[in-house]
Structure 1
Amino acid sequence: MRLPDPAVLARPVTWWRRQSLRFRVTAAATAVLALALAVSAYVFVAVLGEALVRRIDDQVYQRAREIVALSDADRLSDPVVSADNTIVQVLDRDGRVVDATPNTDRLVPLLPAPAREAAVRAGEPLFLDGRPYALPGTLRVRVLGADRGVTVIVARSFAEVESSLVTTGHVLIAGMPLLLALLAAVSWLVVGRTLRPIALLRRGAAEVGATARSRRLPVPEARDEVHALATTLNDMLGRLEEADARQRALVSDAAHELRSPLASMRLQLEVALSHPEGQDWKETAEGVLEDTLRLSRLAEDLLALARLDEGRLGRREPVDLAELARRTAERHGLALDLGPGPSPVVVGDALDLRRVLANLVGNALRHAASTVRIGVRADGAVAELTVTDDGPGIPPEDRERVFDRFTRLDDARSRDDGGAGLGLAIVRTTVEAHGGTVHLEDASPGLRAVVRIPLAR
């Protein structure tokens, strides 16, 4: 057997996905409503038919009970009177019709003997085709036994029930499409009004460009999901604007930092080439080398920041902070304070954490009066690394600002160039990438940098 082509089967799905959200919501709502109406109409007609049949059965049964009572009392009239077009036949013990209503046959019973006996035993009404007895349509028949072997057959036409059900079906068939069309139109309008704020958001987003970064999207008055979406998008635009401002400031500051060593190198080389006979080439080379190293450090810092901004860390491995601090203290001849208990171990990149400690130690050495101390201890579920110097310190209002990129203070802590002002920015970005925090606090005298990173589990 040949299987259907998957591409052919996928065409309706592809067509459906290409339609507008308004169309799909309206079509889906209309389809679900049509199904619900169809099921409701079917249930309604079934319940209505059952109710009408039960009503006829009750009427037939009551009429049969009346005839049985009259027969037992020997008070039956001839012919039997029936004001509601009910068909009645009274049969004797031999199965002959001894009494009947004028609207039925007085010679042929409506049911043969076996059927009559079965109906009496069952005690339930049954359907009978009346055409063989010159009666139009279907009949609802009930058979009861009376005294002296008399059998009473009572029947009533089922045509009125069928007519009612057919009429109800025609009304439903004619009315359901109109109702569906009306509800589809209402759904189309309601969905359109519901999606209007989203269309406004789309137009507002289209107007946000490179020349209108500070523009915000319209926020609807209704406190619904669209309002939450607009608020979230505006918050995102705010963050993007801040990131763009930081990026522009970074590019501007980096260009400014690059310009100084490049200008120095250019000046030294131009002077050396203009007066080669009186130039100390070794001194010129040393000066150019110093500026080149400064450019190299700046490039490395910028690359490190770019990598951290992208969330790219190196190897994730256990790092012993006590061992890291011990090596740094031995390299620089610094005092080391280790807390009690086992060495605190964190999970991270050893090179990045070594850069953090090197930047803090380098910053402390540039501004210390005489002493720099490194401290490592475990504090609950975090490892705490401190670098303390006895320098002039930093005013409290500037202790957060120094973590910004290319920030250098104008007080005694910047009495030399101290780099490009990226050291502490790299420290905070690296520590936050490891799930930790860093802050500065007063050491009385001096300043203490405190790094807290979660311990390895």
Structure 2
Amino acid sequence: MGADPRSRQSARESPPEGTPGDTREAGGKGRRTAGWWRRKSLRFRLTAVASAVLGVALALSAYVMIGVLGNSLLATIDESTYQRAREVVSLADAERLPDELTSPDGILVQVIDGTGRITHATTGTDRLVPLLNRGERTAAIRENRARFLNGAPYGVPHTLRARVLSADHGLTVIAARPFSEVQASVTTAGHVLVVGTPLLLMLLAGASWVIIGGTLRPITALRRGAEEITDTARSRRLPVPEAHDEVHSLAVTLNDMLARLEKADTRQRSLVSDAAHELRSPLASIRLQLEVALGHPHGQDWRETAEGVLEDTMRLARLAEDLLALARLDERGGAPGRREPVELDQLVPQTVERYGETVTVKIGDGPMVITGDALDLGRVLVNLVDNALRHTNGPVAVELRAEGADAVLSVTDDGPGVPEPDRERVFDRFTRLDSARSRDEGGAGLGLAIVRETVNAHGGAVHLEDASPGLRAVVRLPLS
């Protein structure tokens, strides 16, 4: 009586056509096809695309060529048929028609009078039945163009191309030419294209495969060169092709990148090595002092020990702060931490105020505002003043003035100075001279490095010059 439950369940489980299930299945097939295509090599995909484009182009060219050839041959037949018909019309108008019309070019000609009787015809042409009846002849003359005609009923085993012209005295001239030669020419050309086009396509596909392979060979060399570069062979470079093309530019760019990475890696390794070396000295001092104090607790001056440990701890703290400042500069890639208006004419007096009478300040007239980070610029001034105080015999002179579009900050001391050949080297990280600026009296050799990198990040420049006596550090920063 009722429907089978299993049939109802089957109907519920089978979604009808056009449901989202069919859409998901079609989408899945499309994704699988796209995934298969993406997994193929670039050489295969380029060759396939080029071959497909060439195949379409060749097919369209063959189609157009067959059409143009057929139209051209048809126009030739129509022209020759028309010219033959005009000749017969001229003879008929002059009443000089021969009894037998000749047809050296194979054109069939019939001359029909007003009653529909054939008066003249070429050899082999039906002399009793006109190729076109009266209505067809009238329509052909009115249309003034050639038309196709089946020649089988007239003993001609071919399709004919006929043209009808009217002459004087009520005569009508029909000229017809077999269309078989056009069909044969078009068929032959079609056979040649059917056989030749796939062969040409295969030849072009093979040439594309070889040419694309040669084009991609430098990229393969780049990939193999990249595989050979390891962390233990940092000085390796990628092979650069001889041709000055896009691959050459890519290889040069990648080698420049490797050079920058190598330089950064060398700089990082040097920083780690120098930092470890700097950390070892105060840590060894702290350890030695504590071991001696613990080994002889009763005869030890604990206050002196604490002061020594505190001094080394402060040295470690300064080194950690300098390393952190350099790490932040490297992380920002040579850009200031903030970009905000900084009033140097207010920042400089506030920064050196804590030094008291050991530092003299001279500020030029007018406001001097730059764009940058006030904390970083304050650290620049502190590093320069601290460095000058360690080596001066009298007060340190700080001067701020405006020169054109720049603000010029100078810090001068009357110490032993720095020899001219070393005035650029002292800005390198962990660089200290063997003269009065020694390891014990100075810091870790990071102060001037922080100064230069901070000033460069703000678009300025810093250098050292002779103060006679002493040394002068000059910082130039662009005014806003």
Measure, in 1, the Cα distance between the counterparts of 2:477 and 2:35.
Answer: 51
Measure, in 2, the Cα distance between the counterparts of 1:365 and 1:70.
Answer: 128
Measure, in 2, the Cα distance between the counterparts of 1:197 and 1:329.
Answer: 61
Match of 2:473 in 1: 449
Whether the 8 Å CA contact 1:372–1:388 is kept in 2: the answer is yes
Query: 2:347 matched to 1:324?
Result: yes
Query: 2:220 matched to 1:199?
Result: yes
Measure, in 2, the Cα distance between the counterparts of 1:376 and 1:146.
Answer: 114
Q: 1:357 aligns with which of 359, 376, 381?
A: 381
Match of 2:63 in 1: 42
Q: Aligned residue pairs: how many?
A: 455
Measure, in 2, the Cα distance between the counterparts of 1:203 and 1:228.
Answer: 17
Partner SS, residue 332 of structure 1: helix
Measure, in 1, the Cα distance between the counterparts of 2:143 and 2:304.
Answer: 126
Change (3 A) 1:59 1:328: same
Q: 2:269 aligns with which of 216, 223, 248?
A: 248
TM superposition shift of 1:422? 0.9
Q: 2:78 aligns with which of 57, 66, 73?
A: 57
Q: In percent, how many aligned pairs have the same letter? A: 66
TM superposition shift of 1:416? 4.5
TM superposition shift of 1:360? 1.9
Q: Which amino acid aligns with 1:93?
A: G
Q: Which amino acid aligns with 1:181?
A: M
Match of 2:13 in 1: none
TM superposition shift of 1:344? 2.1
Measure, in 2, the Cα distance between the counterparts of 1:209 and 1:50.
Answer: 69
Measure, in 2, the Cα distance between the counterparts of 1:438 and 1:2.
Answer: 74
Measure, in 1, the Cα distance between the counterparts of 2:260 and 2:394.
Answer: 43
Query: 2:355 matched to 1:335?
Result: no
Partner SS, residue 332 of structure 2: coil
Partner SS, residue 197 of structure 1: helix
Change (3 A) 1:140 1:178: same
TM superposition shift of 1:253? 0.6
Measure, in 1, the Cα distance between the counterparts of 2:123 and 2:84.
Answer: 16
Whether the 8 Å CA contact 2:368–2:479 is kept in 1: the answer is no
Match of 2:201 in 1: 180
CA RMSD, aligned part only?
2.5
Match of 1:209 in 2: 230
Query: 2:101 matched to 1:80?
Result: yes
Measure, in 1, the Cα distance between the counterparts of 2:60 and 2:406.
Answer: 64
Measure, in 2, the Cα distance between the counterparts of 1:98 and 1:189.
Answer: 71
TM superposition shift of 1:2? 4.2
Match of 1:277 in 2: 298
Runs of 5+ consecutive residues of structure 1 not aligned to the other structure: none
Q: TM-score, normalised by structure 1?
A: 0.91
Query: 2:258 matched to 1:258?
Result: no
Match of 2:317 in 1: 296
Measure, in 2, the Cα distance between the counterparts of 1:32 and 1:382.
Answer: 62
Q: Which amino acid aligns with 2:342?
A: V
Match of 2:91 in 1: 70
TM superposition shift of 1:265? 0.5
Measure, in 2, the Cα distance between the counterparts of 1:438 and 1:94.
Answer: 118
Change (3 A) 1:339 1:120: farther
Change (3 A) 1:344 1:141: same
Match of 2:187 in 1: 166
Change (3 A) 1:378 1:155: farther
Change (3 A) 1:415 1:267: closer
Whether the 8 Å CA contact 1:344–1:377 is kept in 2: the answer is no
Runs of 5+ consecutive residues of structure 2 not aligned to the other structure: 1-17
The 5 Å alignment of 1:111-122 reads: 111-122=132-143
Change (3 A) 1:39 1:416: same
The 5 Å alignment of 1:416-455 reads: 416-455=440-479
Whether the 8 Å CA contact 1:311–1:433 is kept in 2: the answer is no
Q: 1:403 aligns with which of 410, 427, 436?
A: 427
Measure, in 1, the Cα distance between the counterparts of 2:237 and 2:56.
Answer: 43
Partner SS, residue 424 of structure 1: helix
Query: 2:240 matched to 1:219?
Result: yes
TM superposition shift of 1:307? 1.9
